[in-house]
Amino acid sequence: MSPFLVFYVIIAMQFGIGILGYQQFIAEGAGYDAWISVLIAGLSLHVILWMIYKICESVNGDIVSAHIFVFGNILGKAISSLIIFYYSAYAISVVRSYTEIIQVWIFHELSVFWFSLAIILLVIYIIFGGFRTIVGIAFFSIVIPSYLIFIFAFAFKYTNFNNLLPIFDHSQKEFAISAKNMSLSYLGFEIILLCYPFIKEPEKSKKWAHLGVLFTTLFYTGLAVLTFAFFSEEMLKRTIWPSLQMWRIVELPFVERVEYVGIASWLLIILPNISLSIWIASRLIKRIVNLKQKISVLLIAILCLIISVSFQTREEIKLLDEYIAKAGFWFVYVYIPLLFTAVLIAKKVKGK
């Protein structure tokens, strides 16, 4: 893919289900000061992104190449196999969470199996089109639904920005909790570790990658401020999807329920999340055990379908999202810096 498309791929991965309800989770730590945590957490991603590019440049390849470079062929592939489970679980989380939103907001009697199957079949069709097709979907998932941003403007009429006062009224520990709770929504930019070999002139893609992370950081921060000004703290605690609730107040002469349009459009936004996650997991299988990627795509897709159907209650789905968020946090903020250090040490040792 061309360097500038990295901008859209990163945004497409970071925009997903999390954007519909992250405000409630971040407020659990620093309250209405949590927008500061969103900004700080987003800015910290630039450091991790710099490490990711350094890792890929050092081994001239992806994370599997880095693992083999540091740990050797057998152990390196064994460690890489853990990432297969992570991205497969991420795809399951997105499919099941979106299906839940459809059930709650639009079709209460919707069959989880048949709707999930429809999404999975569409994802398989996209992946079989090749990596460039997936990138094309990522591009259109940002461009086409971009009109949804303007719908939030209707909420300004009912905002009270005094809700955010006083500022800096929480401890450093509470700010850290909010930043950690933001991890699920920010996940996705680390995809560079796996698609680096597919980037044309990767050196030129660095600025686009950082611009993509900066865009999502500013958007998430702005939406958090708007949400805190719209809801009282007690009301926000009882609201699962604050972004959707803000759409409910919109009244247009040609659309009665704007949130229905937004939810339907959100399918295009989550398609790159699922497609790229399953593509990554299938490519890792190909790299590790040399199995044809189309076969591994089908196996992972079937597994995602079976497991996603097994989650029935809101508590189970929330628990799944929490586990994915924790795994993503440790992967991004702990493992990537450790791998970065290990690659530098191994490079220096092998150089001597």
Mean pLDDT of 71-97: 93
For the question of whether the overall pTM of this predicted structure is more than 0.85, the answer is yes
Write the DSSP symbol of residue 21.
Answer: T
Q: How far is CA 65 from CA 59, 123, 163, in A?
A: 6, 27, 49
Among 28, 45, 53, which Cα is nearest to 203's?
53
Are the beta carbons of 23 and 224 closer than 8 angstroms? yes
- The residue among 325 and 115 whose pLDDT is bigger is 115
What confidence tens digit (pLDDT) does each residue in 112-146 have?
999 999 999 999 999 999 999 999 999 999 999 88
Are the beta carbons of 218 and 52 closer than 8 angstroms? no
Q: Please give the pLDDT value at position 171.
A: 86
The CATH number covering residue 300 comes to 1.20.1740.10
**Which two three-digit tokens encode residue 120?**
């999975």
Among 44, 25, 22, which Cα is nearest to 223's?
22
Q: Please give the pLDDT value at position 250.
A: 85
Q: Please list, in sequence order, all residues whose beta carbon lies within 8 angstroms of the beta carbon of residue 152, skipping any fewer than 6 positions away.
A: 223, 226, 243, 246, 247
Mean pLDDT of 55-74: 93
DSSP letters, 220-282, are HHHHHHHHHHHS-HHHHHT-S-HHHHHHTT--BTTBS-HHHHHHHHHHHHHHHHHHHHHHHHH
Are the beta carbons of 53 and 327 closer than 8 angstroms? no
**Which two three-digit tokens encode residue 271?**
């398609």
With 80 as the cut, is the pLDDT of residue 184 above it?
Answer: no
Residue 331: give the domain boundaries.
5-351
Among 317, 308, 304, which Cα is nearest to 277's?
304
The C-alpha angle 334, 19, 173, rounded to 5 degrees, equals 45
Q: Please give the pLDDT value at position 240.
A: 87
With 90 as the cut, is the pLDDT of residue 165 above it?
Answer: no
Residue keyed to tokens 């660095």: 206
pLDDT confidence tier of residue 306, bands split at 50, 70 and 90: very high
Among 299, 330, 256, 267, which Cα is nearest to 17's?
267
pLDDT confidence tier of residue 255, bands split at 50, 70 and 90: confident
> What whole-number distance in Å separates Cα of residue 2 and Cα of residue 10?
13
Among 277, 242, 351, which Cα is nearest to 89's?
277
With 80 as the cut, is the pLDDT of residue 351 above it?
Answer: no
> What whole-number distance in Å separates Cα of residue 351 and Cα of residue 19?
45
CB-facing half-sphere around the CA of 255: CA atoms within 13 A = 12
Share of the chain above pLDDT 70, in %: 100
User: How many domains is the chain built from?
Assistant: 1
